[in-house]
Structure 1
Amino acid sequence: MTTQNTSGPLAGIKVLELGTLIAGPFCARMLAEFGAEVIKVESPDGGDPIRKWRVLKDGTSLWWSVQSRNKKSLTLNMKHAQGREIARKLALEADIIIENYRPGVLEKWELGYEQLKALDPSTIMVRLSGFGQTGPMKDLPGFGAIGESMGGLRYVSGHADRPPVRVGVSIGDSVAALHGVIGAMMALRQRDATGGKRKGEGQMVDVALYESVFNLMESLVPEFDHAGVVRERTGGSLPGIVPSNTYTTSDGENIVIAGNGDAIFKRLVLAMGRIDMAGNPELERNDGRVRHTQMIDDAIQAWCDTQTIDSALAVLKAADVPAGKIYSVRDMMTDPQFLARDMFEQHQFADGTPVKLPAISPKLSATPGHTRWLGPTLGQHNDEVLQSLGYSAEAIAAMKQDGVL
């Protein structure tokens, strides 16, 4: 039997988060979920703007409860010399520093990577920005939407006869955050292999939002370079891989059917009663099916017109054809697969109001992630963090009076 380690695989790792909104904080969130001590520095003047984004409870975003779970909130006025001094002390104590300011901001505060590395060569800094730390666009503001556009995702999203559309979440920021986590873990592995904290070899992890999106773009580059093909918008279908599309059932539900494997396609059309298509040599392989994409999609849609979502899924399940309903959050909350995998966690706000959060992914068998507390109130951990740095209660009170905190 595997022993559960409730402290998490990153217990003992200290992370300093210098950033706001999505990319940097999501990167730090994942480390916090798996046991790292994450100290999030916020402006005393309102804190991270995401505290006021989307749906609010008692003036604070519900998103905040997820994005900042397990983090410690420390308010610091970075315009104040003492605020920057405290941040520098924390940075030199941290195993990993995560920041998503524009390039150059940390350098002005004497908190840049090279400045900290000169004091501690084992410094690991994850820098997330729109366009990276170099290049002609490095100083420009770059949100996830810009990264999605420049990285190629927006161009191929939507229908051919309409303008490009966005994914309904901040996918560019989140993908960049995941690249930041991966980079941080690799840098930590390298540091530990070369001597560990204070003695090992640190490095900077330079994550650009547009490059993180670009990294997802499959065969886009060689298709253009070798064959001159510019991938275009194709709606719900997967270009060049047939059939893989979204169809509508008789009760108005949307269903995704991925019958693009050769054997899967044959099982699909037989389940639809289309023996003629199952025996058509033109349709045996994907390259042949691509030439008949419209005919195949029309045939599948005609079959879906005779089925409800439940009957279609039952037939396709029996035929071992990958298919699925397109879920709203309402569907997720009652779905047996989500429930069997414990994909929701029950918690309470400070006033006792219950709230469900998404569970932590990925699932580690021996050292899973845990939600120890929800997103903190602004400055909730000021005294704790500052006392750990050696500041007395009197010194902390004076800093509050002087506008440092």
Structure 2
Amino acid sequence: MTSSFGPLAGIKVLELGTLIAGPFCSRMLAEFGAEVIKVESPDGGDPIRQWRVLKDGTSLWWYVQSRNKKSITLNLKDPRGQEIARKLALEADIIIENYRPGVLEKWGLGYEALKAINPATIMVRLSGYGQTGPMKDLPGFGAIGESMGGMRYVSGHPDRPPVRIGISIGDSLAALHGVIGAMMALRHRDATGGRWNGETGEACRAGQGQVVDVALYEAVFNMMESLVPEYDHAGVVRERTGGALPGIVPSNTYMTKEGANIVIAGNGDAIFKRLMIAIGREDMADDPQLARNDGRVPRTTEIDGAIQAWCDTQSIDEALATLQAADVPVGKIYSVRDMMSDPQFLARQMFEQHQFSDGTPIRLPAITPKLSQTPGETRWLGPKLGEHTEAILAELGYELAAIEQLRIEKVI
């Protein structure tokens, strides 16, 4: 059952987690060839199976989040389920988990216990606050990470309360940090003696593993640009600014005459000059004070006013055509409806056509990033609960009668 395609072919991953951060992390590894075994509770499985829009009782999100994964059901509160998980963990190159710190240790699946048997073990641990510190035992979802990490404070308009971004960005950022950490840990393992047998796809148990400790709030915090030095050196607290980029002028959201929103980023010095000429403001294009960003910042309101006055006379299509012809970065704000028919999305093949087991067609987002030699691939959609349990246990040496007994006793 080992994968045979993609840059991660031969890499085995055990996913111990639910919902977003851990599963998204392992999803990306699965998309590029890793064999990912997802452990789910026999009692309903991952809750994301029932989140948001459903088809026949299963979330459409599930089919994306768990594509290419194998599902095994295990009762991890039962010692026999823990033993099966331990066997899988010791065969895995990477273990991805997003339980609260200490839970795996309680089940005998902690890093130190596994490392004692297999020093090459890599464990990616995603949690709200990390594995250490006074808050480590508190529950921490993505929304809390976005708040503590600084993103919520700067999101929205200055005269209104902070807003959330319309997706689970905190979880997703943590997942991406987990993927990056896992790849670096694999590189270190290989550099210290770990390698793969290319003929058999089996691991040579050598090399040094490690823990990749990802805290949701720290993943968000890592995105916060110059927040810290601006406060530490200049006492500046970055505030909410709506659609504008403070100190980078002009870059804002404007409204066209039919009420459509358009983003114009004319903040490069040469771009600003082209923008002003395109909107008929040669006086501002030739103003020496506005030639550089530091001169434009004190006149932000004036510049935004000039751009908005021009947008008031343009439809969104007219504005886009004029500014694109002038080589000014510009774009409308897309809904998913816009994306699904957009020539750029289509040319880049950003949608994949699949079908459910009943033959109903469904489009999914294509896999990114795009690798020229070893691209990712969707081999199957998110599996049924426990779909691969019997096959995985058989690989571990369990006889059919033993598997059936485990099922009767609700261990699987």
Where on the TM-score scale, by shorter chain, does this alignment land: which range? over 0.9
- Indicate conservation of the 8 Å contact 2:4/2:10, yes or no: no
Aligned to 1:238: 245
Aligned to 2:360: 353
Q: Which amino acid aligns with 1:293?
A: T
Q: Which runs of 5+ in 1 are unaligned?
A: none
Report how far residue 79 of structure 1 moved: 1.1
- Indicate conservation of the 8 Å contact 1:6/1:367, yes or no: no
Q: Which amino acid aligns with 2:18?
A: T
Q: Which amino acid aligns with 1:183?
A: G
Aligned to 1:118: 116
- Indicate conservation of the 8 Å contact 1:41/1:73, yes or no: yes
Q: Secondary structure at the match of 1:291?
A: helix
Question: Hey, what's the Cα distance between the residues in 2 that align with 1:299 and 1:53?
Answer: 45
Aligned to 1:214: 221
Aligned to 2:87: 89
Aligned to 2:337: 330
Match of 1:205 among 205, 209, 212: 212
Aligned to 1:195: 193
Please tell me whether residue 280 in structure 1 is matched to residue 278 in structure 2.
no
Question: Hey, what's the Cα distance between the residues in 2 that align with 1:117 and 1:239?
Answer: 48
Match of 1:340 among 343, 347, 353: 347
Aligned to 2:48: 50
- Indicate conservation of the 8 Å contact 1:6/1:368, yes or no: no
Aligned to 2:393: 386
Post-superposition Cα deviations, 1:104-137, rounded to whole Å, max 9, x if no partner, equal 0000001011111111111100000000000000
Please tell me whether residue 259 in structure 1 is matched to residue 257 in structure 2.
no
Aligned to 2:197: none
Aligned to 1:136: 134
Question: Hey, what's the Cα distance between the residues in 1 that align with 2:219 and 2:384?
Answer: 31
Aligned to 1:147: 145
Report how far residue 345 of structure 1 moved: 0.1
Question: Hey, what's the Cα distance between the residues in 1 that align with 2:17 and 2:4?
Answer: 28
Q: Which amino acid aligns with 1:226?
A: H
Question: Hey, what's the Cα distance between the residues in 1 that align with 2:388 and 2:4?
Answer: 22
Match of 1:77 among 62, 75, 90: 75
Aligned to 1:174: 172
Question: Hey, what's the Cα distance between the residues in 2 that align with 1:137 and 1:6?
Answer: 42
Match of 1:185 among 176, 183, 186: 183
Match of 2:19 among 4, 18, 21: 21
Report how far residue 281 of structure 1 moved: 1.4
Q: Which amino acid aligns with 2:243?
A: G
Post-superposition Cα deviations, 1:340-371, rounded to whole Å, max 9, x if no partner, equal 00000000000100000000000000000000
- Indicate conservation of the 8 Å contact 1:6/1:370, yes or no: no
Report how far residue 6 of structure 1 moved: 7.5
Post-superposition Cα deviations, 1:152-175, rounded to whole Å, max 9, x if no partner, equal 000000000000001000000000
Post-superposition Cα deviations, 1:266-291, rounded to whole Å, max 9, x if no partner, equal 00000000011111112111011110
Q: Which runs of 5+ in 2 are unaligned?
A: 195-203
Question: Hey, what's the Cα distance between the residues in 2 that align with 1:312 and 1:176?
Answer: 37
Aligned to 1:247: 254
Q: Which amino acid aligns with 2:47?
A: P
Q: Which amino acid aligns with 1:400?
A: R
Match of 2:309 among 285, 295, 302: 302
- Indicate conservation of the 8 Å contact 1:74/1:380, yes or no: yes
Cα RMSD (Å): 0.9
Question: Hey, what's the Cα distance between the residues in 1 that align with 2:113 and 2:220?
Answer: 30
Aligned to 2:199: none
Question: Hey, what's the Cα distance between the residues in 2 that align with 1:366 and 1:276?
Answer: 51
Report how far residue 199 of structure 1 moved: 1.3
- What is the correspondence of 1:98-113 to structure 2 with a 5 Å cutoff? 98-113=96-111
Q: Secondary structure at the match of 1:292?
A: helix
* Cα 1:6–1:330 shift into 2, 3 Å: farther
Question: Hey, what's the Cα distance between the residues in 2 that align with 1:13 and 1:402?
Answer: 32
Identity of aligned residues (%): 80
Aligned to 2:125: 127
Larger mean CA deviation between 6-15 and 229-238 belongs to: 6-15
- Indicate conservation of the 8 Å contact 2:157/2:241, yes or no: yes
Q: Which amino acid aligns with 2:225?
A: E
- Indicate conservation of the 8 Å contact 1:126/1:205, yes or no: yes
Question: Hey, what's the Cα distance between the residues in 1 that align with 2:304 and 2:163?
Answer: 22
